[in-house]
Amino acid sequence: MLKRFLLLRGAEIIVLMALASVPLMVNNTYALGLLTLLAIYGILLIGLDVTVGYLGQVNLAQAAFLGLGAYAAGLSATMLGYGMMASLSISMLVGLVLGGLLAFPALRLDGPQFALATLSFSALSTTVLNEWEGLTSGAQGLSLSRPTWLGLSMDAQGFYWLCLLMLALVWMLMRNLLASQWGRAFEALRDSPIATDAMGVGTYRHKVAGFALGSSLGALAGGLYAFNFQYLQPQSFTYDLMVILLLGVVLGGRKSLWGAFFGACLIVLLPNLLSNKLLFELISAAGLLLAVVSGVRAWKSKSTQHFQILAPIVAMGILVVGGFMVENTENWRKAIFALMLFSVVVGLPDGVMGYIAKLLTRILRVPPADIAAAVSLDTVLPKRESDGQTLLELNDLQRYFGGVKAVDGISLKVRAGQVHGLIGPNGSGKSTAVNVISGLYAPSGGEIRLQGKRLPSGSLLKVARVGVARTFQNLQLFGELSALDNVMVALKGVYRTPLPLLLLGLARAEEQRAQGEALALLELVGLKAQARMAAKDLTYGSQRFLEIARALARKPALLILDEPAAGLAHPDVQVLITLIKTIHERGITIILIEHHMDVVSELCDVVTVLDGGKVIAEGVPDEVKRDAKVIKAYLGVVQDDAPSDAVDRKEAPAC
């Protein structure tokens, strides 16, 4: 643990101290200006990475928030006479409010539609800043002077230290935030918004919060930008700058503070890189060498497609050849940006810092972060006494898709402490029924009650928060997160630290408790040894068990298992049966949708059979599987024509 702390925190302290000491050793105004801009862009890209890296959305509005924050600070200082900190606070507030307002409609879109929405906002912002001449002075530009801070005049050296202090503060706060439940939630909703809501996290509110936070950091950077240059023009915050910012985030490395810092270095140095032909040729050659080395490693490991290996090499080769052929590389900067961005997206999806981090981990053997010891399972899932009363009640439940009656008047009762099977042939409506119960679909009619209270309809989030947890027929794991983080993101009743204290790093005890509870659930499903492994790298059977552990993290009153044995090998099916029995023994009520009749017969207290969206039989497994209607639904024959174990030997296909 100490070695890891020294390696990670030590690197941060060394870089910060080195940057802080530069003005004491170098008396060069131009160099100091570049370093000041580096600190400003570092804050800007940390904010952009929240949306691009963690939320997985292409945000084309960050340059606009830089401009809006710059003008907000400039106008606060010139027209209102505010000081440095007050003006910067107003910049952040403008970014937070406008970012939130943009996020509400834009984040209901996805992919290209979201990118176009943010691009439209960027174009609108530039137009308003340019045309509102009475306030912003339009194309003539806005001149301002740098306010004092704490009564001290801010010369170039003092302002650089202030920007560096702001970068260090933002770095620390964001490191604490992204290492917490908020950071896990940001990553989870990128992988599976449906599962995020089903785990009680809340996709939409986290998206809005993340986008507004990133926008406020962009606006803070804008305020510092205004006081750095002391002259503003709307055309400084156009689409060209946005392309450079995206290049910085992608090339530096997404989901990484170090990646944002490296990207800021790139943005600051890029104009100088393009104006110096020799330097450009050297950097291009280094990029080509990196592409070749990475390509050879990928080819040997046989883990990458040939296109991903060759494309970066070809793109960087074009840059090298082009550097010798053109007279002025600065005239070709848009083409150069495009080639660099293409090379990184295809060849280094984790960015330069992601590649370096993996390399250093192997060389220095950086130990993984310690995991807290597992707590007692009785603490996480205390045994409940079941009174046998009705827990869930469906009254004439209906769900129509156009003219198709997928669920057509289902009425049933699930009693507390039971394993209630829900079976039926393909198209019988069982999966649709549980999708309505869990809130994925809103009912077309009827009523659902949980513990006597009407269950919220059409909201996975609201249903999850009242005590219903579920797994999915098609796995909905958070593939990029570890098995441990998959469970931690869903934990109920653990995260209580207020956001201001969390930002200050005062949630360590809470994190330790969450890790302990998550590890106990992983131990229950036999995945304790794979706690650090990414969910996407687990075997299929392990992924099925991980999804059950994640659902149990909600500490549900009702657990819905939607075909948990689907695709499992026979040994894993036996493990699954034992696991469900263990869960049942703890008093958790279970609805089990399954087409393995041996699993249903061994586990279920009561079985309800659906066909055509209606209930055709209900009772104990042995009675139900010999019911004439059930045999006809499965086999299309009457009871006299079929052996008594016909349903036992028939596996109903998934619905």
645, with CB counted inside 10 A (0-12, 13-18, 19+), is exposed
Q: Record the pTM.
A: 0.84
- The residue among 205, 237, 269 that closes a domain is 237
In the three-class reduction of DSSP (H, G, I as helix; E, B as strand; rest coil), residue 562 is classed as strand
Paired residues of 149 in beta bridges:
152
Question: Which whole number is the average pLDDT over 639-645?
Answer: 49
Reported as type and span, the H/E element at residue 400 is: strand 390-401
Q: Is residue 556 part of a domain?
A: yes
What pLDDT score does 368 carry?
Answer: 63
- Rounded-to-integer distance, Cα 527 and Cα 268, Å: 46
Among 349, 353, 345, which Cα is nearest to 266's?
A: 353
Tell me phi and psi for residue 485, to 5 degrees: -70, -30
What pLDDT score does 171 carry?
Answer: 93
Q: Is residue 552 part of a domain?
A: yes
- The residue among 206, 237, 268 that closes a domain is 237
Paired residues of 454 in beta bridges:
449
Question: Which whole number is the average pLDDT over 279-305?
Answer: 73
pLDDT tier, 48 (very low <50, low <70, confident <90, very high otherwise): very high
State pLDDT tens for residues 63-107: 999 999 999 999 999 998 888 899 999 999 999 999 999 988 888
- Rounded-to-integer distance, Cα 392 and Cα 418, Å: 11
Q: Is residue 522 part of a domain?
A: no
Amino acid at site 294 = S
What pLDDT score does 364 carry?
Answer: 61
Range among 89-93, 267-271, 296-300, 475-479 with highest mean pLDDT value: 89-93
Count of domains for the chain: 2
Amino acid at site 7 = L
pLDDT tier, 637 (very low <50, low <70, confident <90, very high otherwise): low
- Rounded-to-integer distance, Cα 136 and Cα 140, Å: 9
State pLDDT tens for residues 389-418: 889 999 999 999 887 888 888 999 999 989
Q: Is residue 91 part of a domain?
A: yes
- Rounded-to-integer distance, Cα 631 and Cα 650, Å: 10
- Rounded-to-integer distance, Cα 313 and Cα 307, Å: 10
Q: Which long-range contacts (CB under 8 A, 24 or more apart) does 362-366 make?
A: 364/7, 366/3, 366/4, 366/7, 366/8
φ/ψ region of 429 (left if φ > 0, alpha if ψ in -120 to 50, else beta) reads: left
Domain of residue 549, CATH code: 3.40.50.300
Return the structure tokens found at 85: 């900190």
Paired residues of 449 in beta bridges:
393, 454
- The residue among 237, 266, 290 that closes a domain is 237
Sequence-distant (≥ 6) Cβ neighbours of residue 651 within 8 angstroms: 595, 596, 597
Return the structure tokens found at 564: 């948990």
Using the predicted structure, report yes or no on whether residue 293 has a pLDDT greater than 70: yes
Range of the domain at 127: 37-237
Q: Is residue 280 part of a domain?
A: no
Distance of CA 398 to the CA centre of its chain: 34
State pLDDT tens for residues 483-525: 999 999 999 888 888 888 888 888 888 888 999 999 999 999 9
State pLDDT tens for residues 304-346: 666 666 777 777 777 777 777 777 766 666 677 677 767 766 6
Distance of CA 591 to the CA centre of its chain: 29
Sequence-distant (≥ 6) Cβ neighbours of residue 551 within 8 angstroms: 199, 469, 470, 471, 490, 559, 561
What pLDDT score does 449 carry?
Answer: 92
* Furthest-apart CA atoms within the chain: distance in Å: 99
What pLDDT score does 484 carry?
Answer: 93
- Rounded-to-integer distance, Cα 197 and Cα 204, Å: 9
Q: Is residue 411 part of a domain?
A: yes
- Rounded-to-integer distance, Cα 578 and Cα 614, Å: 31
- Rounded-to-integer distance, Cα 215 and Cα 586, Å: 46
The mean pLDDT of the chain is 84
State pLDDT tens for residues 164-202: 999 999 999 999 998 888 888 888 888 888 888 888 888
Confirm if 349 and 253 have CB atoms less than 8 A apart. no
Using the predicted structure, report yes or no on whether residue 1 has a pLDDT greater than 80: no
Q: Is residue 279 part of a domain?
A: no
pLDDT tier, 291 (very low <50, low <70, confident <90, very high otherwise): confident
Rg value, the chain, Cα: 29
Q: Is residue 618 part of a domain?
A: yes
Confirm if 17 and 145 have CB atoms less than 8 A apart. no
